Structure 1
Amino acid sequence: MLQEGAHGKWTVSSSDESTEENSDSEKPSTSSLLDAARGRTSGPQYPCSEARKAAHKRKASPLKLGDKSFSTETPPAGKQRASQEGLGWCLSSSDEEPEDQEKHAHKETQKEEKCDAPKEHALNLCRDDELSENQQAEEYNETLGEAQDTWDLLNGGNPFRFFLTKVTGIEQSYNSGALHIKDVGWLVRQYPQEFRKKPLLIVHGEKRESKAELLAQARPYENISFCQAKLDIAFGTHHTKMMLLLYEEGLRVVIHTSNLIAEDWHQKTQGIWLSPLYPRLPQGTTGSAGESETNFKSDLISYLMAYNSPTLKEWIDLIQEHDLSETRVYLLGSTPGRYQGSDKEKWGHLRLRKLLKEHASSIPAQESWPVVGQFSSIGSLGADGSKWLCSEFQESLVAAGSSVTSLLKCDVPIHLVYPTVNNVRQSLEGYPAGGSLPYSIQTAQKQLWLHSYFHKWSAEVSGRSHAIPHIKTYMRPSSDFQKIAWFLVTSANLSKAAWGALEKNGTQLMIRSYELGVLFMPSAFGLDKGYFHVRGKMLSESNDSATYFPVPYDLPPEQYGSKDQPWIWNIPYTNAPDTHGNMWVPS
């Protein structure tokens, strides 16, 4: 079947009605992690999503331009979806809606929390070089010598505590101030050898065979325990990415956009919010001690309590025992459920609406300021903008001050930043980077109206290749893009499953998935004008982080041209080679 829209022609199977969008689900598998920690492998390890599986396949078996030994016909959609049960530890991002999934098996995902490493360098933040075992050992020793530099970076130079991850293949100056986890094997081997037996709690959303496989793989490790994230609403996922790190010196919270798999920490643009090192409160302290002006402590505890798991009580108690008063960001999460009354404003986009009403300043002419959303996956948003994007979701994004703006129905410009095919083709990884952007033809063809809002992913790096985004951000910039009223970095993609959708004539908010992010408000940083300054380009010669907020892409965003197409992972691209000289044929 040939589908023609505003951004080109897409070939899809005539049987796509039987598959829908469950294949959009980002389910990177880390079933090999514990095997790797034991020094053995069991053949190729694929991610759980079809998109990431295709990326692995094309990295292992690239197709050069002009190679005719393949078919460009997209296979029947019903055949694209091999069962993922039993693949082990799946960390995913399912942003599809139930109307697009009811014919398929339910797939969930999970979050990871790394805990109780008693030394600061248990979380190694250093270069992203791919090294041999011996080189890695040598670099570990070098890292100890660089610890003071890292400590200064984490505790001094960045008042927003918002960082990007490092990538290779670009000028080193563009990695200035970026952080990374040292790649020495994954998960268990992320820790220095002497700390690998410290207690590690993994919060996950696996069920049935995949859960059994996860437990079996962890059986040799007595220090590893699990917490099951309950997903009582169908088609929800566990998509939060957070670490709670306990040290001898205190507690640190890390909220980020990367799954704890090698692919997500390699050559992707990701975001990390790294908390201060929170000291312990004096023994016997009770009540609201250690709370910040942003109520971060109580909100974090409320989020963990939403799991309704006795396993997390120890961590809730630990948070209670620490002083989180230095926190300057607001916590914004989603948890599965149907919420009414005041509970509606605890989670999802109504939580964002509430925070903006209470803490965003009313700025002259702000009514005309656009809203910008940037993401790596897209769910089904309805037949037109009025179904969700330009109604309830936009109303939350444009909220400010005590009154609700009357500018709805897309009167406020909406810029949606999502990579084009050429953005992916010209990236550091080339076409395989698109495995982390699981927007499917089955979803896209049903909402062509959405693509008129799309803007290119552009992170200026001296004309060279760039890292494809897996980060998700939302903000309210000024019309000239010199200021922003607020900035959010989160795990939540553009989907109703992540943000919630109103039901029962607006009296109930239904959320399917776990998500977590942090909201930066100028008032929390002592900026009484009500906005952050930003640069026209994210990177420049000046690096005055105290003045400019580090938006991770170029402003203003550039709208798609007439020949631009959004990246669709499950159709072939054979007209032009990527940065490695290869084509993309996902099947």
Structure 2
Amino acid sequence: MTQDSQHGKWTISSSDDDDEDLPLSGTSSSKAHRPAVSSHSSPLSGSPPSPKPEPANPPVSSLIIGSEARQLAAAHQLNPVKYESSPSLAGKRKKEVSDGPGWALSDSDDDDGDGDSKGKSRSNLPKRSPPIPKTKKPKVENERPPSPHGRLYYIDEPEDFFESSTPCLNETYRFYLNKVTGLDRKYNSGALHIRDILSPLFGTLKESAQFNYCFDIAWMVKQFPPEFRDCPVLIVHGDKREAKARLVQQAQPFPHIRFCQAKLDIAFGTHHTKMMLLWYEEGFRVIILTSNLIRADWYQKTQGMWMSPLFPRLPKGSSESAGESPTFFKRDLLEYLAAYRAPELEEWIQRIKEHDLSETRVYLVGSTPGRYVGSDMKRWGHLRLRKLLYDHTDPVAGEEEWPVIGQFSSIGSMGLDKTKWLKGEFQRTMTTLGKSSLRSDPPMYLVYPSVDDVRTSLEGYPAGGSLPYSIQTAQKQLWLHSFFHRWKANATGRSHAMPHIKTYMRTSPDFTQLAWFLVTSANLSKAAWGALEKNNSQVMVRSYELGVLYVPAAFNMKTFPLHKDSFPASSSAGFPVPFDLPPTCYSPEDQPWIWNIPYSQAPDTHGNIWVPS
């Protein structure tokens, strides 16, 4: 089928309309169906070319990691397409010196298609931004455009970027954002970089397990302080075949690194969980986060994490049930690790059993691949979240007015209309408050960056490489875009650091109270959250995901207070939501960021355009 828009004509093959989920970006089996792309402003090939064959023994630094969207972002960083005011000059590439080491790339998520697309509306397709006049200057080789974000935009992390003393942290919620290079220092107060997390400030590290989707091994090793750099590391990943071989090759210079491959028995699933298990001389710690283990995810993106307290070792001879928290975090973490069915994790399971996790005040919400029936349906995915909200939250007066807010960095296929998965399953979970019989239909706000949010970000258009929403999926669900709201975070100074964080919550209508809050690796997709099958008698989950749920009762509160300007997090009693409330609805001119179509009518903050070729 073809679809005209102001961007040109997009040709979608009939195979994009079948019932099977599309391959996930970044998986070795991915041969995603792609649109034939054309543009009125620049000649483009019918579809992005396949990656070039690698040399027989490529250097580790050249190994390609991550999704096609991230690979495209890296290409634009290294060889940008300059914006020119003259249409005849638009799209000319100019070599430019890159910032520091080359990017290692991420991310997951899935464009899982499941049905025919109908009722395409031209008015809802992405529109061109009006041209912005540009004053011509004499060209200087390797000249950078002035940054609207200030002088610090282009430089690496300053010397005081990393903590030299214990940072002032929010010990109540233990929810933190990452540090962002180029922001005013006050907006990084109470935030953490990976070097902070792995530093001696938090314990004398003996060994770690790193669960993630995407790794740059050499970069990761450098983040450990010298005294811990040779401590054993277990990498838990989901790579197969060629991708696995590349990962193993990365680790060849580091004999202290071992691997554990997560089983992915259902097509197009990913190991998307992001967790650190840190074993110290002083005890044990768990960190559940949203960042891949690559520099790009810790540089100029908004990420989130939950950092556990330091769990002490239990006395010898303690019972099996010792060290459990009121939220049963220990039991649930052990159950999650057991679901891998991996011998490499047995020693970690035993270590966790030997520690006291009783101080934990959050609930674990995980996904593991499989088809589940009976009581097992409530163990994983959104049905796990539904059960926790049913058991551990309370109804509120006027709850039909309490909106649900979801915020994410990737979007899968939701079906032909909102009554399928989004409203039929997902919203029912998100609106659960205790044992209320009320089946309310409150507002649902979905926060996802617009094209202009990406264009004006610290990274410019390449920030869209971590927002892999494709034209194929978007055209099938134009109805979804009416739910979209802008990524705005002026209160935290992070509007221009594009989000890779994923959060879900329920707030009061005046946005002063929070009924619950979830930070997770799970994007808005059925692969991540699970989908009901067989007349709702079975749930199918494709991917590994992990997050933590905050409910007020676990903190001896009825609701969490919400304060504006809640960062730095350590200075406010309010829960530190990482974007502005209330959310701002898309205007008629706003369009959601779609990674595999061109944006050539306005330059980004680097003076470049975006051409997916």
Deviation at 1:253, TM superposition (A): 0.3
Are the counterparts in 2 of residues 536 and 556 from structure 1 also a CA contact under 8 Å?
no
- CA drift of 1:367 comes to 2.4
Give 1:247 deviation, angstroms: 0.6
Cα distance in 1 for residues equivalent to 2:70 and 2:297: 11
Q: Scaled by the length of structure 2, what TM-score is found?
A: 0.78
Q: What secondary structure, in the 3-state scheme, does the structure 1 residue paired with 2:297 have?
A: helix
Provide the aligned C-alpha RMSD in A: 3.0
Identity of counterpart residues, as a percentage?
58
Report the Cα offset of residue 189 of structure 1.
1.6
Partner of 2:408: 375
Amino acid at match of 2:349: I
Alignment match of 1:212 (pick from 245, 249, 257): 245
| Contact preservation (8 Å) 2:83, 2:609 | yes
AA partner of residue 291 (structure 2): S
Give the structure 2 partner of residue 173 of structure 1: 186
- Matching residue of 1:474: 504
Structure 1, unaligned runs of 5 or more: 29-39, 73-88, 102-126
Counterpart of 1:64 (choices 49, 68, 82) is: 82
Q: Contact between 2:409 and 2:499, CA under 8 Å: does it hold in 1? A: yes
| 1:143-196 Cα distance to aligned partner (Å, 9 max, x none) | 5xx23x23xx35xx4310000011122222111111112399611222122322
Q: Does 1:496 align with 2:509?
A: no
Aligned mate of 1:406, from 430, 439, 446: 439
Is 1:535 the counterpart of 2:563 in the alignment? yes
Q: Which amino acid aligns with 2:497?
A: A
Q: Using the alignment, how far apart are the partners of 1:465 and 1:344 within structure 2?
A: 38
Distance change in 2, residues 1:518/1:9 (3 Å) = farther
Separation in 1 of the partners of 2:259 and 2:106? 14
> Matches of 1:519 and 1:444 in 2, distance apart?
29
Deviations 1:493-525 (A, max 9, x none): 000000000011111111000000000111111
Distance 1:27 1:231 in 2: 11
Q: Given the alignment of the two structures, is residue 330 of structure 1 paired with residue 363 of structure 2, yes or no?
A: yes
Q: Is the 8 A contact 1:473 1:488 kept in 2?
A: yes
Q: Distance in 1 between matches of 2:182 and 2:571?
A: 25
Q: CA deviation at 1:374?
A: 0.3
Aligned-pair distance for 1:43?
Answer: 6.2
C-alpha separation in 1, matches of 2:260 and 2:24: 26
Q: Distance in 2 between matches of 1:543 and 1:387?
A: 41
Cα gap change, 1:352/1:259 in structure 2, threshold over 3 Å: closer, same or farther?
A: same
Query: Given that residues 27 and 92 in structure 1 are in contact (C-alpha distance below 8 angstroms), is that contact kept between their aligned partners in structure 2?
Result: no
**Equivalences for residues 47-446 of structure 1 within 5 A:** 47-66=65-84, 68=88, 92-97=107-112, 99=114, 146-147=164-165, 149-150=166-167, 153-154=168-169, 157-182=170-195, 186-407=219-440, 411-446=441-476
Secondary structure at 2:316 match in 1 = coil
Which segment drifts farther, 471-480 or 40-49? 40-49
Q: 1:12 to 1:207 in 2, by over 3 A?
A: farther
**2:325 touches 2:358 (CA, 8 Å); kept in 1?**
yes
SS of the equivalent of 2:476 reads: coil
Alpha-carbon distance change, 334 to 406 in structure 1, aligned in 2, over 3 angstroms: same
**Structure 2: which 5+ runs fail to align?**
29-57, 93-103, 117-151, 197-216
How many angstroms does 1:368 deviate by? 1.9
TM-score (normalised: structure 1): 0.82
Show the counterpart of 1:457: 487
* 1:533-577 residue CA offsets vs partner (Å, 9 max, x unmatched): 11245448x9643x2000000000000000000000111111111
Check the 8 A contact 1:294/1:329 in 2, yes or no.
yes
Residue 419 of structure 2 aligns to a residue in which SS? helix
The Cα offsets for residues 11-67 of structure 1, whole Å up to 9 and x where unpaired, read as: 454254456885762679xxxxxxxxxxx9556454431111111111111222217
2: CA distance, partners of 1:178 / 1:71 = 38
Change (3 A) 1:453 1:538: farther
CA contact (8 A) 2:283 2:311 kept: yes
Change (3 A) 1:224 1:257: same
Equivalent residue number for residue 14 of structure 1: 11
Q: Are positions 1:565 and 2:591 aligned together? A: yes
Residue 520 of structure 1: aligned partner: 550
